[in-house]
Amino acid sequence: MKEAAIAALIAFGLFVLLIGFRTDPGPTGALVLSTRFGVLAAVVAAVFLGALARALVLQQFAGPIERMVPVSLKAALSRMAPYATAAFIAFAIFVPIIFYNNRYLLDLGIVTATYAMLGFGLNIVVGLAGLLNLGYAAFYAIGAYSYALIALTFGLSFWICLPLGGVLAALTGVFLGFPVLRLRGDYLAIVTLGFGEIIRLVLLNWQNLTGGPNGISGIPRPSFFGLPFNATDHGFAATFGLAYSPTHRVVFLYYLILALALLTSWVTLRLRRLPIGRAWEALREDEIACRALGIDTTTTKLTAFAIGAMFGGFAGAFFATRQGFISPESFTFTESAFVLAIVVLGGMGSQLGVAVAAAVMLGGFEFFREFEQYRMLVFGAAMVAVMIYRPRGLIATRKPSVFLREQKIVPAAIVGEARTGTPA
């Protein structure tokens, strides 16, 4: 009761100016102050009742919210996890067949897969190695611009430019990594944030090379192993005896990004079982202990940074070829934050979690498109709810990379975030 009253009071303080008063253009054109105390009262009352209801529900169950889920259901869910992955991939593969005529959904699928791929890439850096990176969009941008510039200047094909974009992004990752990886935690986050902005500003101002704010247009579209997607006799449709349809290219792009995303995921899973992957996780758990065991933490961090950047670069190259036009606007901090949100909400280190988070966030965004005004509100509320009830993300448990007899899932509470400090 008391808590509910406090919550209501806070809500009142917050909203009294936001909702209670409103300025409208009056009949003479001057602003007129109008009051909306009725709405304000409704909002405050809603907060009060909500807090009261929450307190009552919590009282019923007495204990952390986790316990409200019955044990049997939890066990069933964890048994389902491997099938869920398979089902998710299978669904992803069949999307273009089921929704062949729904261009909108196909595009959404492509965007989702792109973000899932970015999420997987960032997951290596943030989820496994525990290095908070707020400038991931920079690598995405470098991949995209590398692809666009190389493809336009040298006329090389998609399949040559794609790896080049990734390699260039990885190299940038290494260059950035050298000076900054001795920083930890928040400091590293700030520097990477700055780096992301620097890259964007360079792209914006280096008119001769990048076209500045006008961006680069006319980026070559990908071909089906040399067969362009067009209506000519040499096109994809004609060669395979199909009627030309622009959907062919969309479907091809969809499968391309899906393959790239799955490749990223596969490589990550594989790396986790190798010494380098275990060293990344050990680094996240305790850096000082790592050094005491003879692990060169600088190189280890650099590889994490470079590999994460490389996948970001691949995704960027794909983005460039899909859009056909890129400009610095596509690589703002919002982009980095969005990908980071996917990783954090999905559960750091979990592939399935990231994929689900990407699908839910982008799907949710689209779903709420009609309620334009409330979209951000719902999005924010969802974020807050996840952070309260699942602070380590949707799937926060950790699967050991190797086992003697039986693979036991490590509960989320034990999985450490990067610890800092000097040896004691």
Partner 1 sequence: MTAGAILTVEHVTMRFGGLLAVNDLSFIAREREITALIGPNGAGKTTVFNCITGFYKPTVGRLRLVHPGGASFLLERLPEFRIAREARVARTFQNVRLFAGMTLLENLLVAQHNALMAASGYTVLGLLGSRGYARAEAEAIDKARYWLDRIGLAGRADDAAGALPYGAQRRLEIVRAMCTDPVLLCLDEPAAGLNNRESAELNEFLHAIRNEHAISILLIEHDMGVVMEISDRIVVLDYGEKIADGTPRAVRDDPKVIAAYLGVADAEVETVEAEVAR
- Give the whole-angstrom CA distance, residue 298 versus residue 198: 23
Binding mask 224-263 for partner 1 (x = CB under 8 A): ----------------------------------------
Q: For strand 216-217 and strand 325-326, is the pairing parallel, antiparallel, or unpaired? A: antiparallel
Q: Does 390 bind partner 1 (CB under 8 A)?
A: no
In three-state secondary structure terms, 200 is helix
Minimum distance, C-beta of residue 121 to partner 1, in the bound complex (Å): 16
Residue number with CB closer to partner 1 (245 or 297): 297
The length of the chain, given as a count of residues: 424
Place of tokens 């490590």: 410
Q: 351-367 and 103-123 are packed helices; what angle lies between their axes, rounded to 10 degrees?
A: 140
Residue number with CB closer to partner 1 (26 or 275): 275
Q: Does 278 bind partner 1 (CB under 8 A)?
A: yes
First and final C-alpha spacing in the chain: 46
Minimum distance, C-beta of residue 306 to partner 1, in the bound complex (Å): 11
Listed in sequence order, the residues at least 6 apart from 41 whose beta carbon sits closer than 8 Å to its beta carbon are: none
Angle at 74 (CA atoms; ends 71, 77), nearest 5 degrees? 155
Binding mask 40-79 for partner 1 (x = CB under 8 A): ----------------------------------------
- Give the whole-angstrom CA distance, residue 138 versus residue 191: 12
Among 13, 275, 324, 380, binds partner 1 (CB under 8 A): 275
Minimum distance, C-beta of residue 422 to partner 1, in the bound complex (Å): 8
Q: Does 125 bind partner 1 (CB under 8 A)?
A: no
Q: Does 282 bind partner 1 (CB under 8 A)?
A: yes
Q: Does 391 bind partner 1 (CB under 8 A)?
A: no
Q: For strand 31-35 and strand 325-326, is the pairing parallel, antiparallel, or unpaired? A: unpaired
- Identify residue 377 by its one-letter amino acid code: L
- Give the whole-angstrom CA distance, residue 347 versus residue 395: 5
**Segment contacting partner 1 (CB under 8 A): 4-12, 81-89, 244-252, 274-282?**
274-282
Interface with partner 1 by CB under 8 A: which residues? 267, 270-271, 274-276, 278-279, 281-282, 285-286, 288-297, 303, 398, 400-408, 410-411, 414-416, 422-424
